[in-house]
Structure 1
Amino acid sequence: MSGRVRLGVNIDHVATVRNARGGVHPDPVRAAREALAAGADGITAHLREDRRHITDTDIEALSDLCAEAGRPLNLEMAVTDEMLAIALRHRPHAACLVPERRDEVTTEGGLAVAGHEARIGPVAKALADVGVRVSLFIEPSIEQVEAAHAVGAQVVEFHTGRYCHLSGDDRAIEFDRLQAAASRAVDLGLEVHAGHGLDYETAADMMGIAEVRELNIGHFLIGEAVFVGLTNAIHRMRAAMDRACEATA
């Protein structure tokens, strides 16, 4: 592993708790500020079509916060005209195109890029044309990596949920799949990120894939914050990642 792997903190579920009761507490923007102060390299937020957690007002405030802090905002978004218009208005550092279904509890898999290039390509181009870095949240599949490259993505973020739910030989097979997809992505000039379902242990595992340059982690960190505080949770995650990097150097 060469170089420090960045840690992006997803603050969606602070907004989930806020919205469960209404009102303004807990404030996801406050959480983002604390995350940055604790060493997060950037903030990730998913503005869903149904606004179940992050809201338009949150995105405005997060855009201002990240600009002031000089840290990137990674806007997760569905491939829709509405979300494209919002992204073009705010021009975050990066936009990560993700699949979205109204009845899912959380994102259940990667974006199907292969076979849908005609729909995804124009959105990717529109974002890139205004200087937004285009990321695609995909399964660790060679086919999806090649399709992401074909539509003009600069980054692929691999869905690690399957890896995190497996064990033993099945997990080892999935790790090899992640490794192969990451290698192909770098061959094509794409930067490699990973996220979904990661905890201290599985985030450290991802450090064994030399091509990974960034992890985006949310639900686990927000859950840990209930017990140890957000700053401590981020420090522990950063330490787990760094130890694993040193071990593979």
Structure 2
Amino acid sequence: MVHLSVNVNKIATLRNSRGGNHPDLLYISKLILEAGAHGITVHPREDERHIKKKDVFDLKEFLLRYNKEKGLKIEYNMEGEPSSRFLDLVLSAKPDQATLVPVTPGEITSDHGFDLKKDSKELASYIRKIQDAGIRVSIFMETDLENLKLVKNTGADRVEFYTGPYAHAFDQSPEKGKNAFESFQKAAELLVSEKIGINAGHDLDHFNLPLFSRLPGLQEVSIGHRLMSYALEIGIEKAVKEYLKALN
């Protein structure tokens, strides 16, 4: 089964736009989990434009209580740039997984993976420190095969594919989406051969997931923006269930 981790950044964005605690991040996260999601993802950026430092720890405590009450193992995934700021946050909050993502100052959202010819040495240092704390590490990557061959040098446990190109091709037509999927399939086969786990995320939705869920070795997808957009139409619980249906 491919796991669905729901990114709740957009809930925090809406809350922050007005101040106060509406919508309540923890309450909405509970609705998401009650609908069947397997995990919660946050990307606490330095400017705190959505997830704040306090949210990181509030969600950690909420998930600890939820898992204990339900007898489940809901995973907590934190995304962020390789920096001392994010490292300190990860080591303090101790999520189940840390996903390292390259960040360009001023960007609206993450829109590219690491270039390991430049980044592998620095990444390896951060990865070792995070893994030493018992936390699984994933790194955000595109599908270039030569670049992916360097993943093993970093020591990362998993790769999270940046799926924007696939999603945007699928938006144009399912046929174009199918063609774009082929590069992900070849990339996934390489990672599977090297025993590196596979996650994916960015603009995946209930239309393009049925095809993408066939990706060899796919273990988890992290989805926020499109799921939340769909939730405005049909409600958060129905949206999560639709995505789970499309995924599996």
Which residue is 2:159 aligned to? Answer: 156
Mapped partners of 2:103, 2:209: distance in 1: 24
Q: Aligned to 2:10, what secondary structure does the other structure show?
A: helix
Mapped partners of 1:184, 1:191: distance in 2: 11
Which residue is 1:247 aligned to? Answer: none
Q: Which moved more, 1:100-109 or 1:177-186?
A: 100-109
Answering whether residue 95 of structure 2 is matched by residue 92 of structure 1, we say: yes
Q: What is the Cα deviation at residue 165 of structure 1? A: 0.9
Equivalent runs, 1:44-193 vs 2, <5 Å = 44-68=41-65, 69=67, 70-166=73-169, 167=172, 170-193=176-199
Mapped partners of 2:37, 2:103: distance in 1: 26
Q: Which letter does structure 1 place at the counterpart of 2:122?
A: R
Q: Which moved more, 1:24-33 or 1:5-14?
A: 24-33
Q: What is the Cα deviation at residue 170 of structure 1? A: 4.6
Q: Aligned to 1:200, what secondary structure does the other structure show?
A: coil
In the comparison of the two structures, how many residue pairs are matched? Answer: 239
Quote the sequence identity (%): 33
Which residue is 2:70 aligned to? Answer: none
Where structure 2 has 5 or more consecutive residues not aligned to the other structure, the ranges are: 68-72
Which of 26, 32, 35 does residue 35 from structure 1 map onto? 32
Q: Which letter does structure 2 place at the counterpart of 1:29?
A: L
Q: Aligned to 2:125, what secondary structure does the other structure show?
A: helix
Preserved contact between residue 97 and residue 111 of structure 1 (Cα < 8 Å): no
Mapped partners of 1:40, 1:172: distance in 2: 26
Q: What's the Cα RMSD here?
A: 1.4
Mapped partners of 1:39, 1:204: distance in 2: 18
Mapped partners of 1:159, 1:131: distance in 2: 25
TM-score if structure 2 supplies the norm length?
0.92
Which residue is 1:5 aligned to? Answer: 2
Q: Deviations over 1:123-159 (max 9, x none)?
A: 0000011101000011122233222221100010101
Q: Displaced runs of 4+ in structure 1, greater than 6 A?
A: none
Q: Aligned to 2:121, what secondary structure does the other structure show?
A: helix
